[in-house]
Amino acid sequence: MASISLNNVFKRFGSTEVLKGIDLEIEDGEFIVLVGPSGCGKSTLLNLISGLETISEGEVLIGDKRVNNVPPKDRDIALVFQSYALYPTKNVRDNITFGMQTRKVPESEQQAALSEVSEMLHIDHLLERKPGQLSGGQRQRVAMGRALVRKPEVFLFDEPLSNLDAKLRIEMRTEIKKLHQRLGKTIVYVTHDQIEAMTLASRIAVMDNGHIRQFADPTTVYEDPVDLFVASFMGSPP
Ligand code: ADP
Ligand code: MG
């Protein structure tokens, strides 16, 4: 079970209130996209789910477990960021399996997971290369591979495609969608790109200034926006 619940969640940095009472119910296996303008609190919300930031008030549940005080490594999640910090001196193989090595996963299991994931992501011919010898799209695939081999119940993506050129972005979008269909895991995906949100999401949460303005399926958000902010942000027809 990897549903996610946020109940009346607040986040403050000093006197600045960044999240202002977030309620969100994400079902197991859903593909949720958080959209909204820069600075509205998307990354902060994701970081509260991952545990990289602590909650000021309210609660976060993953499955039926309250995780407010659970460290990131003990939450069954994997994160993919826009700046895919790969180890520059390690080859692709070691970049992907490094996490398994530190957790002392048996060698044969590491090999099996590596083969499965590298085939799925079409990087099986790149395993001996160093990150410096890869294109941006290939590096992003390696970063995804590193997350996938951990076989988490929840994937969190923070603008994973924003460093890629337009053509590659569309290609990777399709790949990520396929991945979700194949794995059926819960995904929370942050972007400021409305089209990305419309193509990927089972439901979209539109954020503005620390609030969720609307949480609904893409068609509803687009065709039946709750207010002017959502309408103008999503580019809804008048
Ligand atoms: P988004 O991802 O939607 O662009 P963020 O969640 O990164 O927005 O940031 C929301 C707001 O919180 C911004 O105003 C940002 O400056 C502020 N913020 C984020 N992280 C911190 C921090 N560690 N300390 C102080 N303010 C922060
Ligand atoms: Mg952000």
Asked which of 10-19, 87-96, 116-125 is least confident by mean pLDDT, the reply is 116-125
Q: Ligand 1 in contact with 123 (CB < 6 A)?
A: no
Q: ipTM value of the model?
A: 0.98
Going by pLDDT thresholds of 50, 70 and 90, the confidence category of residue 238 is confident
Rounded mean pLDDT of 1-7? 90
Q: Ligand 1 in contact with 40 (CB < 6 A)?
A: yes
**Ligand 1 atom nearest to CA at 210:** 10
**How many angstroms does the Cα of residue 189 sit away from the middle of ligand 2?**
11
Q: Two tokens at 24?
A: 């969100």
Q: Is the pLDDT of residue 82 over 80?
A: no
Asked which of 18-22, 47-51, 77-81 is least confident by mean pLDDT, the reply is 77-81
Going by pLDDT thresholds of 50, 70 and 90, the confidence category of residue 179 is confident
**Ligand 1 atom nearest to CA at 53:** 23
Q: Output the pLDDT for position 100.
A: 84
What angle, 0 to 180 degrees and rounded to 10, lies between the N-to-C axes of helices 107-120 and 92-102? Answer: 140
pLDDT higher at 126 or 160: 126
pLDDT in tens, 22-77: 999 999 999 999 999 999 999 999 999 999 999 999 999 999 999 999 999 899 89
Q: Ligand 1 in contact with 210 (CB < 6 A)?
A: no
Nearest-ligand number for the alpha carbon of 38: 1
Global model pTM greater than 0.80: yes
Going by pLDDT thresholds of 50, 70 and 90, the confidence category of residue 1 is low
pLDDT in tens, 185-207: 999 999 999 999 999 999 999 99
Average pLDDT, the chain: 92
Nearest-ligand number for the alpha carbon of 159: 2
